[in-house]
C-alpha cells in the first residue's frame, strides 16, 4: 500500500519551520506499552485489537530554515522498510509506508538532508536510516551526519535492552561504512537552533530534541512519553529500562515545554501529536497545538 500524504502539518517557529512527516505505523502489545497500568484503565483510552495490540504512529520531523543555510534536518526516522513477513505480521508494519516515500511525496530529495537526529536507536526510531538496494542495506540519507548520544550508541552495540531484536544491526552498519555518526556527550548544540535535552529512562542514552525558532520552540520528546495517554507519572512502558528515571525525565520534558510555552511533538501518538503543555495544579495538561 503506497500512502499519499495529506496536507502536511507544518508549524512556524519564527524563521524556522517543522513539518510533521510520517515514518510509518505499527502495533505493539497494549500491556507492554502501559507497564504497571491495569488494562481496564488503558483500554478505555486506547482500545486493544483482538491480539491485545494498540495502534501507534512513528512521527518524524523535517526542519527547515527561512534564511540562507546549508542545513536541512530530519528528526527521527520511524521503522523503515526492512522487515520480513513474520515481523510485518507481528508488528502490523507496512514496509512500503515509511519515511522516504513520504518525504519524496513532499518533494524532498533525501540527498539534500544534511543532518539526522534520532532520540535513541530502537528499530522503530532509526529503521529509516537505511534501506535495501541490490540486496544490501544502504544509507537512506547518503550525505547526512547522524546524531545520537554516545551512550545510546554503545548500548545499542551491546544489545542492552529488554527484548532481543530491539536493536538491529542493519540499521547501523551502512552508517558505519560511510562514517556518518556524530556521537554526542550531553546537551551541546547539534546545529544552530537544535540541541538535545537529556531524558534518560526509556534507555540510558535517550535524549529529546529541542528545535528553537525566533518566536517559539518545539521539543520532540522521543519515547519519554510515547502517546498523549502516557501523560500521568506512572504511565510508563514495560520497555523502559529505568522506569523511575523516565518519570523524572517526563517531568523535565513537560516543564521545559511549559516554561517556554513551546510545542511538544509526541513520537508514537496516532491522533494529534503536536500539543501545548500547560501547568495545572501540581502537574500539566495537554491541548492541541495550531
Ligand atoms: Zn518507540
CA-nearest of 94, 82, 35 to 223 is 35
Tell me the pLDDT band of 160, cut-offs 50, 70 and 90.
confident
9-288, CATH topology level: Metallo-beta-lactamase; Chain A (3.60.15)
Distance 258 CA to ligand 1 centre (A): 23
**Length in residues, the chain:** 290
Task: Please say whether the beta carbons of 201 and 245 come within 8 A.
Answer: yes
Task: Round to the nearest angstrom and report the end-to-end CA distance of the chain.
Answer: 30
* pLDDT reported for residue 68: 81
Q: How far is the CA of 290 from the centre of ligand 1 (A)?
A: 25
Q: What's the confidence (pLDDT) of residue 161?
A: 75
Average of per-residue pLDDT across 226-244: 97
Cα(66) to ligand 1 centroid in Å equals: 31
Instruction: With beta carbons less than 8 A apart as the criterion, state whether 23 and 128 touch.
Output: yes
- Centre a 10 Å sphere on the Cβ of residue 162 and count the other Cβ atoms it contains: 12
Cα 208 to ligand 1 centre (Å): 12
What is the CB neighbour count within 10 angstroms for residue 169?
11
Q: Which helix (H) or strand (E) holds 54?
A: strand 53-65
Is the torsion defined by CA of 26, 270, 81, 180 positive or negative?
negative
Contact indicator for 152, 121 with CB cutoff of 8 Å: yes
Q: Quote the ligand 1 centre to 125 CA distance (angstroms).
A: 6
Enter the DSSP assignment of 182. E
> Other C-beta atoms within 10 Å of 165: how many?
10
Residue 68 Cα to ligand 1 midpoint, Å, equals 34
pLDDT tens-digit readout, 100-147 = 999 999 999 999 999 999 999 999 999 999 999 999 999 999 999 999
Q: How far is ligand 1, taken at its centre, from the CA of residue 59, in Å?
A: 10
| Number of Cβ atoms within 10 Å of the Cβ of 164 | 7
Cell numbers representing residue 242 in the block: 529505568
If you search the block for the grid coordinates 501507534, which residue do you land on? 56
- The burial class, CB within 10 Å (0-12 / 13-18 / 19+), for 131 is buried
In angstroms, what is the span from residue 122 Cα to ligand 1's centroid? 7
What is the distance in A from the centroid of ligand 1 to the CA of 268?
A: 7
Most confident of 63-77, 148-162, 252-266: 252-266
CB under 8 Å to 170, separation ≥6 — which residues? 82, 130, 137
Asked whether residue 2 carries a pLDDT value surpassing 80, the answer given is: no
Average pLDDT, stretch 256-274? 97
246 CA to middle of ligand 1, Å?
14
> Please, which residues have CB within 8 angstroms of residue 76's CB and are 6 or more apart in sequence?
23, 58, 59, 60, 61, 117, 118, 119, 125, 220, 222, 267
- pLDDT value, residue 8: 82
Beta-strand runs (E) in 129-271: 130-133, 136-139, 145-149, 181-184, 194-198, 207-212, 217-220, 263-265
Per-residue pLDDT band for 190 (boundaries 50, 70, 90) equals: very high
Q: How far, in Å, is the centroid of ligand 1 from the Cα of 128?
A: 13
pLDDT digits (tens, 9 = 90+) for 10-24: 999 999 999 999 999
Amino acid at each position: 500500500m503506497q500512502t499519499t500524504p495529506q496536507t502536511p502539518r507544518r508549524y512556524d517557529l519564527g524563521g524556522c519551520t517543522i513539518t510533521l512527516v510520517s515514518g510509518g505505523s505499527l502495533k505493539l502489545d497494549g500491556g507492554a506499552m502501559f507497564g504497571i497500568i491495569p488494562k481496564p484503565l488503558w483500554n478505555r483510552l486506547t482500545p486493544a485489537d483482538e491480539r491485545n495490540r494498540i495502534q501507534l504512529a512513528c512521527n518524524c520531523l523535517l526542519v527547515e530554515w527561512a534564511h540562507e543555510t546549508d542545513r536541512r534536518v530530519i528528526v527521527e526516522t520511524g521503522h523503515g522498510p526492512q522487515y520480513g513477513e513474520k515481523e510485518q505480521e507481528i508488528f502490523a508494519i507496512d514496509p512500503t509506508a515509511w519515511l522516504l516515500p513520504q518525504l519524496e511525496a513532499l518533494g524532498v530529495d533525501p540527498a539534500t538532508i544534511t543532518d539526522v537526529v534520532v532520540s535513541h536507536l530502537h528499530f522503530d526510531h532509526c529503521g529509516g536510516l537505511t534501506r535495501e538496494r541490490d540486496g544490501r542495506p544502504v544509507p537512506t540519507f547518503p550525505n547526512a551526519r547522524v546524531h545520537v548520544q554516545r551512550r545510546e550508541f554503545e548500548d545499542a552495540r551491546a544489545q542492552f535492552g529488554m527484548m532481543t531484536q530491539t536493536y538491529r544491526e542493519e540499521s547501523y552498519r551502512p552508517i558505519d561504512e560511510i562514517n556518518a555518526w556524530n556521537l554526542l556527550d550531553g546537551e551541546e548544540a547539534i546545529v544552530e537552533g537544535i540541541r538535545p535535552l537529556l531524558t534518560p529512562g526509556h534507555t540510558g542514552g535517550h535524549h529529546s530534541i529541542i528545535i528553537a525558532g525566533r518566536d517559539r520552540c518545539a521539543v520532540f520528546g522521543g519515547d519519554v512519553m510515547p502517546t498523549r495517554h502516557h501523560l500521568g507519572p506512572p504511565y510508563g512502558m514495560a520497555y523502559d529500562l529505568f522506569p523511575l528515571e523516565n518519570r523524572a525525565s517526563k517531568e523535565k520534558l513537560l516543564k521545559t515545554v511549559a516554561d517556554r510555552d513551546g510545542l511538544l511533538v509526541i513520537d508514537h501518538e496516532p491522533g494529534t501529536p503536536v500539543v501545548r503543555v500547560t501547568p495545572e495544579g501540581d502537574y500539566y495538561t495537554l491541548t492541541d497545538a495550531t
